[in-house]
Amino acid sequence: MNRFLWILYILLFVGCSENPKPPHSWTLISGREGTPLYRIKAPNSWNCTHTDSKLLADTMKALCEFNIIEEDQTIRITIHNFPSNSINERIPPMAQIARWKRQFEELNPTHTLITPQSYCGFLGHYFEGTGRIKGNDITMMGWALQIAPEHYSTLSYSTAGFSQSECKQMRSDVTIKVIGSPDMIQKYKRQIKQFAKSFELIEEIPVRS
């Protein structure tokens, strides 16, 4: 009886243990000028492809792409940035989200979510939607982010340690877009959100004192 109770106790503790978290590592992402600008923490099992530095000047090209591959399904994650010369030139995050919504042939309104986001000096919105794109059921997750106006203002002047071109890159708008099948997105949603929330500039944003 005692032996049985001990086995039961051990099984209970084993049953309570969480699945071990996949190992992560920081990935450096270059800006449009080819120098490392951002970093993001991604699971080591995700494939990462960086765009050729010669092609980075084209803002239509993603800075990098991550792929989560499982059997014959893939989740595609692309990260873009959009430099600007002045604060009024920036595209509002909601305009980015409106563009993403237009990519759906049909968008399920009950599975559409837009929430404000603020982290690492970026402000913007998170979009999540499920619908049909090119005849396939797709779930899209997207973060449309801008450097906060306070930081944009600081980075509009040559700040100690950064050149004007570096400041321009640092104050770029950013989008993180995720596309995949609804089932696969649901399975990796938590990891993807942690991944996106780890996105930040490598250098700390100087703050006017």
Binding site for other proteins (CB under 8 A): 88, 115-123, 147-148, 150-151, 153, 157-158, 160, 197, 200-201, 204-207, 209
What's the closest the beta carbon of residue 101 comes to other proteins, in angstroms? 20
CA atoms within 13 A on the CB side of 99: 11
Identity of the residue, 15 or 161, whose beta carbon is nearer to other proteins in the bound complex: 161
What's the closest the beta carbon of residue 143 comes to other proteins, in angstroms? 12
H/E/C letters for each residue in 145-186?
EEECHHHHHHCCCCCCCCCHHHHHHHCCEEEEEEEECHHHHH
Identity of the residue, 182 or 206, whose beta carbon is nearer to other proteins in the bound complex: 206
What's the closest the beta carbon of residue 68 comes to other proteins, in angstroms? 23
* Residue 153 CA: distances (Å) to CA of 43, 72, 87, 101, 139: 34, 46, 8, 30, 36
Identity of the residue, 56 or 145, whose beta carbon is nearer to other proteins in the bound complex: 145
Phi, psi of 4 (to 5 degrees): -65, -40
Identity of the residue, 155 or 179, whose beta carbon is nearer to other proteins in the bound complex: 155
What's the closest the beta carbon of residue 125 comes to other proteins, in angstroms? 9
